[in-house]
Amino acid sequence: MDYSKLFRLDGRSAVVFGGGSGIGREAARALAGQGASVTCADRDLAAAGEAATLAGENARAYHLDLLEPGAVERAASELGDTDIVVLTAATNVRKRLLDYTREEFDSVLALNLGATFDVLRAFGAGMVERGRGSIVVFSSIRSLTVEPGQSAYAATKAGIVQLVRTAAAEFGPAGVRVNAVAPGVVETPLTEQIKADPDWYQAYADKSALGRWAGAEELAGAVAYLASDAASYVTGSVLFVDGGWTAVDGRYVPPGS
């Protein structure tokens, strides 16, 4: 084993769904930094282009709306043999259950869970046929711990974990690995509502062991690890990158401690 190349991805092709911003953009940069040829796929083509520019000469932009019927299958065909797939795209409607409409519920499920199903099937098929590949899907701490207003989002993120585990079980014999990353609170466009409220923002920061939010770039290392040979025996796993949130959630610091 040449440990100097443990995390290198030279000669491998990757696609990052949701690669135009936030965690997806940083994941694309990290994969390109390790030598992969990266496709930044996003419904916002301009954002995908900016992300590809940041990732370097081995990156390109690709327009894709994950909710468009047949779009994921078309992408799997057009992008050719893909070694690494990363899915970060997600949405959330923060409302209590009694205020939720079925339309809002369905919209969250369609992107968070439905797109995961489509990506696993469309890209997993080619990987199984070729006998290699790594798929990384983003779950959340909300797959494990919830709060008021997170019903649909939490349900989808828990569902993603079980889809990932099932795909890992089914694709594993062919040499294909499937894992999930579960972030805590991260500075991304999806969390703008929280960041706009200083008290809410600080309350979330205080919940983690590190006492702060994560930058999107702090999730990129987990993606690069799971995509690389460093994780060659890791599949069906959920990697929590949450600053210790789930380890200390609800903690109480006694007086004098």
Annotated catalytic residues are 153
Q: Is the dihedral of CA 226, 227, 228, 233 positive or negative?
A: positive
19, 40, 155 from 51: Cα distances, Å: 7, 7, 30
Q: What's the burial of 61, exposed, middle or buried (CB within 10 Å: 0-12/13-18/19+)?
A: buried
In 3D space, the residue among 116, 109, 108, 106 whose CA is nearest the CA of residue 66 turns out to be 116
Alpha carbon distance 159, 87 (integer Å) = 14
Place of tokens 């797939």: 85
Contact of 12 with 84, CB cutoff 8 Å? yes
Cβ within 8 Å of residue 253, ≥6 positions away? none
- Show the tokens assigned to 235: 């599949």
Length of the chain: 257
